[in-house]
Chains A and B, each alone.
Chain A
Amino acid sequence: MAVTVSPERDVVATPVQRAFREALYAAAIALGLFVLFIGLKTDQNISNELILVQRWGLLAIVVIATAVGRFLYVGYAQPAMERAKAQKAAAPAAAATAPGFIRRNFNQIGVAVLLLYPVAIVLLFGFQGSLKWVDNFGIQILIYVMLAWGLNIVIGLAGLLDLGYVAFYAVGAYAYALLGTHFGLSFWILLPAAGLMAAFWGVMLGFPVLRLRGDYLAIVTLAFGEIIRLVIINWREVTNGSAGISGIPKVSFFGLMSFNVSDPNYIAKVLGIAQSGAYYKIFLYYLILGLCFLTAFVTIRLRRLPVGRAWEALREDEIACRSLGINTTTTKLTAFATGAMFGGFAGSFFAARQGFVSPESFVFLESAIILAIVVLGGMGSLGGIAVAALVMIGGTEILRELDFLKAVFGPDFTPELYRMLLFGMAMVIVMLWKPRGFVGSREPTAFLKERRAVSGSFTKEGHG
C-alpha cells in the first residue's frame, strides 16, 4: 500500500492529520473515477428513448465510504499493523519455531474432515437437506481438486504450461457417456478406459508440442482444447452436437447395489431403508474422494520416483537434463499422459454424476479456472491446491446462498453474476499477497539429514 505523502511532511503530520489528508485525496480520486460510472446512468424511458438518470446520492455514498475507509486505514489500521510488526520483530523466535497445531497436522485434519463431512452434513440437515451440501459443495469442489491435482503434474511438476487441460476432461466424460449409453458398459470398466483414452490423447497432444516452449506451448495447448470442443460440437452423428448426450447410466455400488429406484437391487430395497436421492450423492462423494486420494497418492509416489524427479528437473533446466542422459521426450510425454489420465478419470466421474454431458461444460473458462486454482494454490503443492479449490469453487457456490444480499441491493440482485468479478479480485489480491500461491515452498523428495522446504524463490516455473 503506497503511502503518497512525501517524507518531509510525514515527520510533521500526526497519523490522524495524515489520515484526514489522505482521505480527502481518496475522496477526490473516487469522485473523479465514479462520477460517470455511478453518478450517471443511461436508461430507456417508456417511449424507448435514451435518457440519463442522475444518481448523485449513490455517488455521494460511494465517495464518502471511500474517504472513510481510507481515513480508517491510514489513521488506525496502518499504525496498528506497524505496532504488530514491531512487536513481532521484538519476539521473533517463539512464533517462528512453533507452528500451530492445525499447521502441523494440516493433512491429517484435512483428510479427517473430508471423510466425516457427509456424515456431519446428514446429521445436521437430514438426508434431504444434505443433498445440496454434499453435491454442490462437496462433489463439485472435489472434482476441481482432482482436476487441479492432475494439471499440477503437467504444470507444477513438469513445468509445461497446458491451457487446454479441459480437453482431457472432455475426452474422459465423452468416453464414459458414449460407451456407457451405447454399449451399457459399467462405470468400473469405463473409468480406467476413460483414463487410458485421455492419456492417449495426452500423448497425441504431447508429440507435436514437444519442441515448443513457453508461450508457444500454451497457445498450441489452448488450440488443442478448442479443437476437441469443436469436434464434439460438429461431429453430430457420434456426439449429438451441442445438444449433448443424456441418459448416461449411473454408477452402481460396485455392481452389488444400484441407485436406480426401479432396479430390483436398489440400495434402499437391499438395505431396507427409506428411499432417498441422497444415498447416490453420498456415494458419489466418497467415490470422488477416493479418486482424489488416488491422484494424491500417485503424485506423491511419483515425485519420489526417478520419473517425478526428472519432471521437476525438466522444469528447472531442460538442457541439463539432457546432459545427464534423461530422455526429455519420453519424460514430457509421460507428464502429459499422467496429467491427462487424471483429467480423464475426473471427466468420466463428471459424466456419471451429471447424467448428461454437452460441449458447454468443456469451454476454455474451465481450463482457465483449473489453471487459476493450480497457480493460486502454489504450483506443485497438493495441500495448497486443495485449499485454493475450496476457496475458488466453494466461494462461487456460496454466492448462490447469499440471499440476504437481496435485502441490501434490491430483489433483482443476483450475487452469482458477480462471480467472475470476485474471482478476478481474489486472484489479484492473492497474487499480490503471495506471488507463489498459498504454498510457495517445495518439499524435497529426498534428504540426508533433515527435510527442509525449498523456498519458492529458488524453484523455477518451467518454460517448455
Chain B
Amino acid sequence: MNASPSMNDIILQVEHLSMKFGGLVAIGDLSFQAKRGEITALIGPNGAGKTTVFNCITGFYKPSEGMITLNRRDGSTYLLERLPNHEIPARAKVARTFQNIRLFSGMTLLENLLVAQHNKLMKASGYTMLGLFGFSSYRKASAESIDLARHWLEKANLVDRADDPAGDLPYGAQRRLEIARAMCTGPELLCLDEPAAGLNPKESAALNALLMDIRDTTSILLIEHDMSVVMQISDHVVVLEYGRKISDGSPQSVRTDPRVIAAYLGVDDEEVETVLTEVGDEDVIEQLDIGPDAAHGPGTSSSFLAGPVTDTIGHSEGERVTVSKGASKAGQVDAKANAAPRKPAERATAKPAGSTAKPRGGRK
C-alpha cells in the first residue's frame, strides 16, 4: 500500500473503523493514528468500545467497516482487517495482552514464553520433522529461544520463578508475565488491555518502568483506566465514548478537554461545575446553563479519576454498546456549544483531533 517514507513513523493507522453487532454500534467511524516508538493510550468510560477496538486490531473481530493499516519497520504494510487472527501476531507483528489475564496456567513461566515463540521454533524444527529426529539446528534454535525467554523474564523480574507454574504467580506478576510473553513474539506494536488493573501503586510503578523500557524497541497501544499510568507514560491519548472518538492529543490537552471531562463525569451534576472550575474552563462553565437530558446516559464513573480500578473481571470478548440518543455527554457539550454561539470559533478548534487542542485556563 502507501508505504512512503513519511508514513513510516506512523505504525498503526485506523481509518473509519466501525464495528456493529447487529444493530448495536460498538465503534462508529473511528480514526486515529499511533506513532512508532510512542505509547498511545486509548481511554474512555466503561463500555466505550476500547476493547472492541483492540479486538478489531488484533483480529479477534472482523470490523464491519474501515481500514486498519500497520506499517512495519522494514517498510511492509499489512491491512489488519484482512489478515486471519493468528497471522496478525505472526506476520504483522502485533502482540496483545488481555484484560482478564490469559496465561497458560498449567505451564511453567518458561514454557509460557516458549509457546510465544511458536512460529520461529516451528520453522527451526522443520515443521516438527527435523526436531523429531533431533537435528542440531533445532537444538540451537531451542537454546536461543530459552535465552530470549530468560531475557524477558529478567526484564519482568520473574526469573527466580521461571520453573513455577504460571497459575501459581501473584496477580501483579501474572500481568508482567503476560507482557513478557507478548514481547517474546517479537512484536513491533504491543497492545496492552488494562495492564495496570488491580495493581497496587508499587506494582504499578514497576509496570511503568517495564513499559518505558519496552517503548525503546516497540510501540505500545494501551487501554488503561489508571490515570497515573496514562498521564505518566503515554505520549498520545485517544479518548472514546460510545464508540466514537471525542478527543485526541497529548495527555495534557486531553485532560483539560471539556468533552473528555463531560464524558467521564457527566455535565448534569452540580460537582461537575466545580471540577470544571478547578480545571479552569470558563467557556464551559458559562455554557452549563442549559440542562442536559439526565434520563439518558451512563452512570458516572467516579472510580476513574480516583485511581486504579480494582475490579478486573472484565468484559472478556465482546463489549456491546448501545448508543441511545442524547447519551453522549461529550455530544451534549457540543450541542450546548452550538446552542450558545458565544465563541463559536474557539469551540470549533476543540473539535478537530489532537493537534490543535490546547490547555485552557491557568491550571496545567
Chain A interfacial positions (CB closer than 8 Å to B): 298, 301-302, 304-307, 309-310, 312-313, 315-317, 319-328, 334, 442, 444-452, 454-455, 457-460
When the two chains form their complex, are residues B107 and A312 in contact, meaning their CB atoms are under 8 A apart? yes
Docked Cα-Cα span, A444 to B86, in Å, equals 25
Whether B128 lies near A307 (C-beta < 8 A) is: yes
CB pair A307–B122 under 8 Å, yes or no, is: yes
Least CB distance from A186 to B in Å reads 25
Q: Mark B149-176, 1 if CB is under 8 A from A, else 0.
A: 0100100000100111111100000000
B90 near A325 with CB under 8 A, answer yes
Q: Verify A448–B95 contact, CB threshold 8 A.
A: no
With A444-B108, A458-B167 as known contacts, state yes or no: A325 contacts B114, CB within 8 Å: no
Smallest beta-carbon distance B339→chain A, Å: 46
Complex CA–CA separation, A325 to B162 (angstroms): 22
- The answer to whether B119 has its CB under 8 Å from any CB of chain A is yes
Q: Which residues of A contact B116 (CB under 8 A)?
A: 324
Q: For the complex, give the distance between the alpha carbons of A298 and B159 in Å.
A: 31
Contact A306:B86 (CB < 8 A) given known A313-B104, A448-B150, A451-B163: no
A440, chain B: closest CB distance, angstroms: 11
Q: When the two chains form the complex, which single residue of A302, A325, A444, A446 contacts B132, counting CB atoms closer than 8 Å?
A: A302
In the assembled complex, the Cα of A442 lies from the Cα of B168 at a distance in Å of: 14
- Which B residues are in CB contact (< 8 Å) with A324? 89, 95, 115-116, 118, 181-182, 185
Verify if B87 is at the interface (C-beta below 8 Å from A): yes
A315 to B107, CA, bound (A): 10
Contact (Cβ within 8 A) B58 A323:
yes
| Residue ID in chain A nearest B106 by CB atoms | A459
Q: Is B245 close to A, CB under 8 A?
A: no
Asked if B105 and A460 sit within 8 Å, CB to CB, the answer is yes
**Could you tell me the distance between the alpha carbons of A398 and B178 in the complex, rounded to whole angstroms?**
51
**Cα–Cα, bound, A305→B105 (Å):** 19
Which residues in B have their C-beta under 8 angstroms from that of A326?
A: 86, 115, 118-119
Partner of B108, one of A304, A307, A454: A454
25 A-B contacts (beta carbon < 8 Å): A301-B134, A305-B138, A309-B107, A309-B111, A309-B118, A310-B115, A313-B104, A313-B107, A316-B103, A316-B105, A319-B102, A322-B85, A322-B86, A323-B98, A323-B102, A325-B118, A325-B119, A444-B111, A445-B114, A447-B110, A448-B146, A450-B163, A451-B163, A452-B164, A458-B106
Q: Which residues of A contact B107 (CB under 8 A)?
A: 309, 312-313, 316, 444, 454
CB neighbours of A334 from chain B (8 A): 128
Which chain A residues border B90 with CB–CB below 8 Å?
A: 325, 327
The A-contacting residues of B in range 74-121, CB under 8 angstroms, are 85-90, 95-98, 102-108, 110-111, 114-119, 121
B359 at the interface (CB under 8 A from A): no
CA distance A66 to B360 in the complex (A): 87
| Contact pick for B86, options A302, A327, A446, A455, CB 8 Å | A327
Bound: A114/B124 CA distance, A: 36
Neighbour of B111 across the interface among A319, A322, A446, A457, CB < 8 A:
A446
Give 13 new A-B contacts, CB below 8 A, not counting A309-B115, A326-B86: A306-B118, A306-B121, A307-B125, A312-B104, A322-B86, A323-B60, A323-B96, A323-B182, A324-B118, A325-B86, A334-B128, A444-B163, A446-B142
**A446 and B146 within 8 A (CB):** yes
A307 to B131, CA, bound (A): 10
Contact of B128 among A305, A312, A457 (CB under 8 A): A305
Between A322, A324, A449, the greatest number of chain B beta carbons within 10 A of the residue's beta carbon is seen for A324
Chain A residues within an 8 Å CB radius of B121: 305-306
Complex interface bits, B274-315 against A, C-beta within 8 A gives 1, otherwise 0: 000000000000000000000000000000000000000000
Bound-state CA distance A454–B165 (Å) is 6
- A460 surroundings in chain B (CB, below 8 A): 105-106
Whether A298 pairs with B132 at a CB distance below 8 angstroms is yes
Chain B residues with CB under 8 A of A316: 103-107
- Closest chain-A Cβ to B135's Cβ sits at a distance in Å of 11
B60, B97, B110: the one contacting A446 at CB < 8 Å is: B110
Residues of chain B contacted by A321 (CB below 8 angstroms): 86, 115
| Shortest Cβ-Cβ A-B pairs, 9 listed | A459-B106, A325-B90, A325-B89, A316-B104, A458-B167, A320-B102, A306-B121, A448-B162, A458-B165
Q: Which of B23-61 contact A (CB under 8 A)?
A: 58-60
- Residues in B whose Cβ lies below 8 Å from that of A322: 59-60, 85-86
Of the candidates B103, B159, B168, the one whose C-beta lies within 8 Å of that of A317 is B103
Is the beta-carbon distance between A313 and B115 smaller than 8 angstroms?
yes
Residues of chain B lying within 8 A (CB to CB) of residue A301? 131-132, 134
Complex alpha-carbon distance, A323 and B93, angstroms: 11
Cβ-defined contact, B131 with A305, below 8 A: yes
Give the residues in chain A near B142, CB-CB below 8 Å.
446
Contact with A along B296-337 (1 / 0, CB 8 A): 000000000000000000000000000000000000000000
The answer for the CA separation of A320 and B117 in the assembled complex, in Å, is: 13
Q: How far is the CB of B194 from chain A (nearest CB, A)?
A: 15
Q: Is A305 in contact with B125, judged by CB distance below 8 angstroms?
A: yes
Q: Which residues of B contact A312 (CB under 8 A)?
A: 104, 106-107, 111, 115
Contact residues in B for A446 (Cβ distance below 8 Å): 108, 110-111, 114, 142, 146
- Interface residues in B185-217 by Cβ distance below 8 A to A read 185
Task: Report chain A residues within 8 Å CB of B95.
Answer: 323-324
Which of B104, B114, B168: most chain A CB closer than 10 A? B104
Measured CB to CB, the nearest residue on chain A to B129 is A305
In angstroms, Cα B268 to Cα A102, docked, is: 75
Output the residue of A319, A322, A442 with the most chain B CB within 10 A. Answer: A322
Establish whether residues A320 and B103, one from each chain, have CB atoms under 8 Å apart when the complex forms.
yes
Q: Which residues of B have CB within 8 Å of A449?
A: 162-163
Contacts of A304 in B (CB 8 A): 131
User: Which of B60, B103, B167 has the most CB atoms of chain A within a 10 A radius of its CB?
Assistant: B167
Q: Once the chains bind, are B118 and A310 in contact (CB under 8 Å)?
A: yes
Other-chain contact of A458, B96, B105, B128, B131 (Cβ < 8 Å)? B105
Checking A309, A315, A320 against B98 with a beta-carbon cut-off of 8 angstroms, the contacting residue is A320
